[in-house]
């Protein structure tokens, strides 16, 4: 016999039944919008929590069940049940291309293309001119050829997959020769040695960590050599007494030995960043011009498009990749290809891609503009956090993120919040994450910093301000 059944005065016996709450007029609209199943889950979750709390001897006894509080609790549970796990957030971390926050937001043209592809059947692997099955790569291959100067191109679901496919198709069972200073590891434990092993290549490291010469490659190459690999050191930098072999020289060495030369650029920009006032970033077209046979790069980093791994290069080698069994396992769906096509068209057709691509707009945003925004937001944040935290503006330095230009930083401004008590800072961080559109900042020097570089759209600023009024109530409800 349960405790509540043994004790007729137990408040848990006064909790209403699921059906009674389900038929309450307060949930009629929710039932129409979401269906009974979701509402019932919210009711059961709430009742289970109330039974647990009412049965806890450490809780102060209540004279009766507060119906209004119970209904409000169900509504909160219902909102949590209905909320998508993939939620929009404000990225105010200071890392523009943030892997954990989805990297690059798409342009409006790419979003429109994705919506159309999602809503309708599309000519994905259907050749409309010939009326028969076609190749899905053709949707973007022509654009990639035009933008990079390569002979051919193919696309898979991310750059790690692109590297794996290229190494497997060209080097399985043979040696892959790479400079010791380029044995990279990036986020998520993607290690070049491990990928080479998975691809069936035998890794051959040449040179020293800080200095590698052309003779190192020539001495290492032999009958078992399958390809030369160069990895762009996108997420770290070696400085001081260093040297590396120029791409054009590596291309010549590979050609002399009759093997392919592959460059993994990682981020891969399609515009000259110097024109945006940013440090130079290696571009696929430059690698192709230097003699690379294959170049791999990402779609969702500096390119500003969807997650994709792009391979451009010699037609014969691209065809070998397309015919490999891994290609089908790693291929992109129609939504990715639709977004990628729209993004590439922006580079081809627009004289100012930064006006259309959010990532480029955020990276090239001037500090004066950010400073003016900080001045607008400061009094509103101070009012919203009155009695909770002191808020000031501070100069800060943003980073590109996702392994792009790891040493370089961008001047920016931040709203800096400091609580008088240490534990309260973690509580404040949780409070901002609990807002309808969570605000994600970074903890630094005993304060919570909100870097404003990525808050560059007027609509986003309005949305940010609109939810400030809810901070105080969330603060009181957040443990």
For the stretch 446-465, pLDDT in tens is 999 999 999 999 999 999 99
CA dist 416 and 389 (Å) reads: 9
| Mean of all residue pLDDT scores within the chain | 90
CA 440 centroid distance within chain: 14
pLDDT(209) > 80: no
Q: What does each C-alpha distance from 24 to 29, 38, 74, 300, 470 come to in angstroms?
A: 11, 15, 11, 47, 27
pLDDT tops 90 at residue 420: no
CA–CA gap between residue 345 and residue 304 (Å, rounded):
12
Number of H helices, E strands in the chain: 20, 17
Tokens of 110: 């790419």
Q: Where are the beta strands (DSSP E) in 181-246?
A: 185-186, 190-191, 202-206, 225-231
Q: Which SS3 state, helix, strand or coil, does residue 391 take?
A: strand
- Closest Cα to residue 425, out of 445, 393, 448? 448
The length of the chain is 479
The Cα 45–Cα 84 span in angstroms is 17
Q: For strands 225-231 and 261-266, give the pairing.
A: parallel
What's the rounded Cα separation, in Å, for the pair 287 and 419?
50
**Token match 């028969």: residue?**
132
Closest CA to 297 of 285, 311, 287: 311
* Whether residue 3 has pLDDT greater than 60: no
- Round the CA-based radius of gyration of the chain to a whole number and report it: 28
Q: Residue 190 pLDDT more than 90?
A: no
Distances (CA, A) of 152 to 105, 140, 173, 229, 273: 27, 10, 25, 19, 25
> Per-residue pLDDT for 264 more than 50?
yes
Q: Quickly state the pLDDT bin for 189 (edges 50, 70, 90).
A: low
CA distance 476 to 430: 12
∠397-437-410 over CA atoms, to 5°? 10
Query: 321-367 pLDDT, tens per residue?
Result: 999 999 999 999 999 999 999 999 999 999 899 999 999 999 999 99
Distance CA 217, CA 475 (A): 61
Phi, psi of 243 (to 5 degrees): -160, 150
- Where is pLDDT greater, at 476 or 28? 28
Which CA distances in Å does 98 have to 89, 105, 240, 402? 12, 10, 29, 6
Tell me if 282 sits within 8 A of 265, measured CB to CB.
Answer: yes
Q: How far apart are CA 360 and CA 356, in angstroms?
A: 8
403: left (phi over 0), alpha (psi -120 to 50) or beta: left
Q: Which of 285, 224, 219 is nearest to 253 (CA)?
A: 219
Residue 180 banded pLDDT, cuts 50, 70, 90: confident
Strand partners, 228: 177, 261
Identify the pLDDT of residue 30. Answer: 92
Longest dimension (CA), the chain: 91
Residue 406 has pLDDT above 70, yes or no: no
Signed CA dihedral, 98, 100, 103, 106: sign only: negative
Give ∠ CA 273-242-408 in degrees, rounded to 5. 30
Q: Residues 173-199, buried b or exposed e (16+ Cβ, 10 A)?
A: ebbbbbbebbbbebeeebebeebbeeb
Ramachandran angles phi, psi of 175, nearest 5°? -90, 135
Split at pLDDT 50, 70, 90, the class of 111 is very high
Q: Do residues 342 and 388 make contact, with C-beta atoms less than 8 angstroms apart?
A: no
Q: Give the model confidence (pLDDT) of 61-70 as tens digits.
A: 555 678 888 9
Convert the pLDDT of each residue in 226-261 to its tens digit.
999 998 876 556 666 678 889 999 999 999 999 999
pLDDT of residue 407: 47
Cα four-point dihedral sign 208, 214, 215, 220 = positive
How far is residue 467's CA from residue 63's CA, in Å, rounded to a whole number?
36
Among 27-41, 179-193, 341-355, where is mean pLDDT lowest? Answer: 179-193
> Given the DSSP bridges, would you call strands 126-127 and 132-133 parallel, antiparallel or unpaired?
antiparallel
User: Phi/psi zone of residue 381: left (φ > 0), alpha (ψ -120 to 50 degrees), beta?
Assistant: alpha
Quote the tokens at residue 231: 């990895």
What are 124-155's pLDDT values in tens digits? 999 999 999 999 999 999 999 999 999 999 99
């Amino acid at each position: 016999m349960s405790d509540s059944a043994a004790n007729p005065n137990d408040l848990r016996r006064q909790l209403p039944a699921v059906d009674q709450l389900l038929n309450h007029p307060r949930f009629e609209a929710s039932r129409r919008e979401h269906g009974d199943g979701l509402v019932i889950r919210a009711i059961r979750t709430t009742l289970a929590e109330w039974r647990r709390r009412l049965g806890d001897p450490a809780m102060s006894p209540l004279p009766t069940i507060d119906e209004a509080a119970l209904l409000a609790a169900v509504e909160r549970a219902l909102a949590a049940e209905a909320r998508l796990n993939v939620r929009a957030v404000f990225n105010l971390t200071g890392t523009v291309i943030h892997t954990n926050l989805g990297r690059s937001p798409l342009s409006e043209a790419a979003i429109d293309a994705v919506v159309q592809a999602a809503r309708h059947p599309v000519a994905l692997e259907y050749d409309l001119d010939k009326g028969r099955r076609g190749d899905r790569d053709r949707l973007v291959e022509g654009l990639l050829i035009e933008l990079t100067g390569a002979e051919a191109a193919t696309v898979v679901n991310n750059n790690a997959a692109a590297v794996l496919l290229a190494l497997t198709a060209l080097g399985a069972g043979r040696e892959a020769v790479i400079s010791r200073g380029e044995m990279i590891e990036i986020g998520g434990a993607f290690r070049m040695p491990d990928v080479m092993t998975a691809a069936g290549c035998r890794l051959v490291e040449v040179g020293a960590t800080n200095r590698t010469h052309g003779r190192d490659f020539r001495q290492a190459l032999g009958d078992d050599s399958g390809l030369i690999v160069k990895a762009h050191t996108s997420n770290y930098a070696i400085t001081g007494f260093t040297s590396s072999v120029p791409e054009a020289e590596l291309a010549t060495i590979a050609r002399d030995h009759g093997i392919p030369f592959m460059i993994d650029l990682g981020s891969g920009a399609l515009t000259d960043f110097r024109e945006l006032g940013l440090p130079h970033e290696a571009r696929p077209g430059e690698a192709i011009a230097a003699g690379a046979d294959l170049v791999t790069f990402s779609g969702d980093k500096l390119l500003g498009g969807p997650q994709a791994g792009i391979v451009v290069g010699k037609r014969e080698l691209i065809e070998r990749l397309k015919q490999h069994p891994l290609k089908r396992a790693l291929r992109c769906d129609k939504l990715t290809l639709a977004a990628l096509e729209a993004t590439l068209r922006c580079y081809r057709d627009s004289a100012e891609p930064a006006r259309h691509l959010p990532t480029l707009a955020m990276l090239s945003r001037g500090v004066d503009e950010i400073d003016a925004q900080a001045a607008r937001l400061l009094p509103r944040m101070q009012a919203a956090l009155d009695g909770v935290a002191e808020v000031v503006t501070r100069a800060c330095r943003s980073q590109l993120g996702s392994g792009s230009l790891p040493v370089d930083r961008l001047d920016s401004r931040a709203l800096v919040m400091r609580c008088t008590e240490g534990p309260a800072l973690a509580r404040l961080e949780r409070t901002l994450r609990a807002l309808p559109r969570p605000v994600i900042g970074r903890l630094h020097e005993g304060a919570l910093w909100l870097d404003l570089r990525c808050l560059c759209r007027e609509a986003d600023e309005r949305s940010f301000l609109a939810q400030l009024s809810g901070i105080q109530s969330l603060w009181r409800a957040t443990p």
